[in-house]
Structure 1
């Protein structure tokens, strides 16, 4: 069986991380895998040498010429390699795949994948994507909530499959943990609502002045966030760590992880933090956190953009070692719930089902 993934790039992001993990896992299951990328430069994730990376990005100052070139490149790929299935790992890739299949003289099945919050896509792009949904042979959703946002005909042919939780041997000890430290991971972008987190942290510092906040990630909001931290007088207690390729190692330096996003598809950062045994506090945003966290059992959920409640939960964890340890023990179980073997089996079974369908 030959499976293709169509996505923009392998530069840092949740969809890109998941594509690399699935591609590597599929190869280990004896599947031929191709990655079709619009941009092959500066990958943040490593794929197995057996995975073929194909550059379909066309350069032109004219958008229509680039678009037609991309479609032609996909059509040429389908004719040459005749994949059984093509996963569109960003929904805006669906029109390219559908139009590329026309005239390819292949029976490649196209499976869409919603990797973000469906409401986050700009209206003009959503309009374009919706015109092509009927031509998808299948669809993968990360959560039932995201599935419910789609037309009935797409829901009926779709399946809900969560993200892979990494298998990590947690080696957190008293000697390697940063005391009174809180960490967060994600793009520095307005959707991640670090503004609420920094405001909450300023409240935390009023009661725990030795606390520090470590933020991993990069993005367009960095200067604004640094300015906010300076205005609140907390800049010296916040460390902007930048992007890390070994985030699983970094996470084991912390007992407490916080996630303040306004909207998600299914947050890989939260999954990884739980797999690393962090005691997690997350916004109860659409979609994903409530599928991962049972409030009070393996973490805390707080209302979106509620800095006061977020600060209260962080303070409670900072002062309660036994609860941190309880949340850690329960959070690690996500490694089994979303194990690679379970998720990959669901993907491959679904790909075979769609490939065999008429």
Structure 2
């Protein structure tokens, strides 16, 4: 089969996470296109692949283990590996995900002549520290284009003059299919990495405060960013005498059964790029209560239609909305019927088409 297009995808890893799942979905979609060859380069410390990707996707990893004690040397080795590998692949286009990683990719490929499209995947305009903020201001304008996950992210990119070629493309939202056997239980579900900005401690306290019997709070997610919060959260649950109603499930690769078994999705995060799990909860027919953080939830939740959008950090309002959903079956059913409307703009194949067209748009401009 002749290759018409060679696409190179670059990310730190394909471990569990929203950004990683999107990249995996794009790799699957692109590899399925006739005449398209897909290369995936993993440049992080932990270069695992937990998502299923086609055997036709060529995966590249540096041949050394990244050692933090010789961070500078191993960062330089990663840059050299990345540049030499891309020069060998000679892709028609490159897509890189992740702030800080985008800086590394743009440094590695500086002057190499390949179009590099970049996308930040967390809170728009996130402070990366003095060095990386400086690098971003100098390097991002050199990229062929910038993919913003939300209109808010595009506004921040324009305001900071990071790039002139900006396209807003949301995330592909997987359809969560019920197998028809799972019976919904009185479960409030929350999913996310155990990091401080997700505020799982506050969610646990709010749930316990509500005090409705026969309800459970289930939190799915593992420790991340060396914050080791699982131990603290377990201690909190014990102190609140809530071990019979609050369950910390840890990191789970298969989360669909949790969506299919629950009745409500609670999202207490204060900082997001585009929270896939909200979309997945809606696709599973779950009403959602979420903080209206600066980007993401309001792109999918229409307040009082398919969920509740709560002013950021207003814990009393969040608690009231969660209690309303737990105690009022009519409201739950109304939101459930409206849930799919929140994700109709994020059908995976249509999102992948937008990515594909945009990262190859430079060819039609020549």
Same fold per TM (> 0.5)? Answer: yes
> Residue 358 of structure 2 corresponds to which residue in structure 1?
350
Alignment of 1:188-203 (within 5 A): 188-203=194-209
| Counterpart secondary structure, 1:36 | strand
- Kept in 1: contact 2:267–2:290 (CA 8 A): yes
The yes-or-no answer on 1:226 pairing with 2:226 is no
> Residue 53 of structure 1 corresponds to which residue in structure 2?
59
User: RMSD of aligned C-alpha atoms?
Assistant: 2.0
Shift of 1:308: 1.8
Tell me which of 112, 118, 124 is aligned to 1:118.
124
The yes-or-no answer on 1:25 pairing with 2:29 is yes
> Residue 81 of structure 1 corresponds to which residue in structure 2?
89
The yes-or-no answer on 1:159 pairing with 2:167 is yes
Alignment of 1:1-358 (within 5 A): 1-30=5-34, 31-39=36-44, 41-56=47-62, 58=64, 59-60=66-67, 61-102=69-110, 104=112, 107-124=113-130, 125-152=132-159, 153-154=161-162, 156-171=164-179, 176-178=183-185, 180-205=186-211, 208-219=212-223, 220-357=228-365
Shift of 1:357: 3.8
- Kept in 1: contact 2:124–2:295 (CA 8 A): no
Shift of 1:25: 0.9
- Kept in 1: contact 2:215–2:245 (CA 8 A): yes
- Kept in 1: contact 2:302–2:342 (CA 8 A): no
Shift of 1:185: 0.4
Q: Distance in 2 between matches of 1:263 and 1:90?
A: 15
Output the TM-score relative to the length of structure 2. Answer: 0.90
Moved more, 187-196 or 30-39: 30-39
Q: Distance in 2 between matches of 1:312 and 1:186?
A: 22
| Counterpart secondary structure, 2:175 | coil
Output the TM-score relative to the length of structure 1. Answer: 0.92
Map Cα deviations across residues 215-239 of structure 1 (whole Å, 9 max, x no partner).
Answer: 0001121112222223333233111
Moved more, 112-121 or 340-349: 112-121
**Which consecutive unaligned segments of at least 5 residues does structure 1 have?**
none
| Counterpart secondary structure, 1:333 | helix
